[in-house]
Amino acid sequence: MRFVFAAILLLIPVLLAAPQAHAEETDFVIRVLARDAKFIGTSMGGAHVMIRDKRTGDLLVEGITSGTTGDTKKIMAENHDRDALLSDDKSANFGFSLDLFEPTPVTISATGPLAQTQSMGRISEDYILIPGKDYTSGDGIVLELPGFVVDIMSPPAGQIIKFDPEVSFNMAVNIAKMCGCRIEKDTPWDPERYEVEAYIYRNNILVTNAPFQYSGNPGIYITKVLVPQDGIYRMVVTAFDPKTREAGMDSTTIIVKPAE
C-alpha cells in the first residue's frame, strides 16, 4: 500500500508538467456566391451554411448568410486580378468563431436560396481549418453555387383546361440568378443568353417541347403550348446557360378535360 501511495506521489509532478489540451478561438467568414452573379443574402432568404468534421461527421457550426448581394460593377467586372476583392462590408456572409484544438479536416456546405425552395441547390467543399489562421480578411471563404431560380407563374398547379386540339394555352415563368439578380436588358444577365424551355409529359412520356421567348419584362419568359389529347400533364420548365453549363428547373401539373 505504501508503495502504491509513493508511486502516485511520484506521478503527480509528471501529470502537472504534461501539456494540457488548449483550444484556440478562430474567427471565420463564409460567403456564398451565385455562379456568374452576386452573393446570396437577405433578399433571397440567405443560404444555409453547415460545417462538419470529416473524421466524425459531427456538426461543428451552422448558420445563414445575411447581408446584401454586393457591388455589381465590382463582382461582374470582365477581368479580375488574382486575389481581387469582390465583397464589401455589407456583402452577405455568415460569420462565427470556433474553438479549434488542432488542424481539423471539415466539409463546408451551403444550401440556398432559402426563399426559393423549389430552386434550392447545394454546394460543398473540403477544407483544413487551422487554429489561429486568418479566415476573415478579403472575401473570407467563398463557396460558388450554380443554378437558376425558376418559378412557373402560369398555369398554376392543378388548373383544369378544356381540351381543344386547335387552341393552345399560355405559359409564363420567372427566371433569376440564385442571388435574385434580375435578368433583363442592359445588365450582365442579358435575356438572350439563356435557353428557357418547357418539357410536357403525359403518363411520363414526352409529348411536346416548347421554347420560351423573353417577354420584355425583367425575368419573365412566355410561350404557348398545344397538347394532343386530354389527360393529366406534367410540365417541367428549365433554364440553361450554354456558357457556364448551369441550369435550373421548376415543375407543375395541369388537368386537360375531354371536350364536351
Same domain (yes/no): 126, 140 = yes
pLDDT of 79 higher than 90: no
Residue range 148-187, pLDDT digits in tens: 999 999 999 889 999 888 889 999 999 999 999 999 999 9
Q: Which domain holds residue 141?
A: 22-145
- Measured between alpha carbons, how far is 100 from 78 in angstroms, rounded to an integer? 39
Residue that finishes a domain, picked among 86, 114, 145: 145
What is the average pLDDT across 3-7? 49
Query: Which CATH number characterizes residue 193's domain?
Result: 2.60.40.10
The pLDDT value given to residue 4:
46
Three-state secondary structure along the chain? CHHHHHHHHHHHHHHHHCCCCCCEEEEEEEEEEECCCCECCHHHCCCEEEEEECCCCCEEEEEECECECCCHHHHCCCCCCCCCCCCCCCECEEEEEEEECCCEEEEEEEEECCCCHHHCEEEEEEEEECCCCCECCCCCEEEEECCEEEEEEECCCCEEEECCCCCCEEEEEEEEECCCCECCCCCCCCHHHCEEEEEEEECCEEEEEEECEECCCCCEEEEEECCCCCEEEEEEEEEECCCCCCEEEEEEEEEEECCC
What is the average pLDDT across 196-200? 98
Residue 23: pLDDT band (50, 70, 90) is: confident
Which residue did the predictor score with more confidence, 75 or 20?
Answer: 75
pLDDT of 21 higher than 70: no
Residue 2: pLDDT band (50, 70, 90) is: low
Residue that finishes a domain, picked among 145, 180, 206: 145
Same domain (yes/no): 123, 161 = no
Same domain (yes/no): 131, 28 = yes
Same domain (yes/no): 129, 188 = no
Same domain (yes/no): 32, 119 = yes
Domain total in the chain: 2
Residue that finishes a domain, picked among 145, 172, 197: 145
Is residue 7, in this structure, part of any structural domain at all? no
**What pTM does this model have?**
0.86
Same domain (yes/no): 80, 152 = no
The pLDDT value given to residue 158:
86
Residue range 26-56, pLDDT digits in tens: 999 999 999 999 999 999 999 999 999 999 9
Query: Which CATH number characterizes residue 107's domain?
Result: 2.60.40
Average of per-residue pLDDT values in the chain: 92
Is residue 3, in this structure, part of any structural domain at all? no
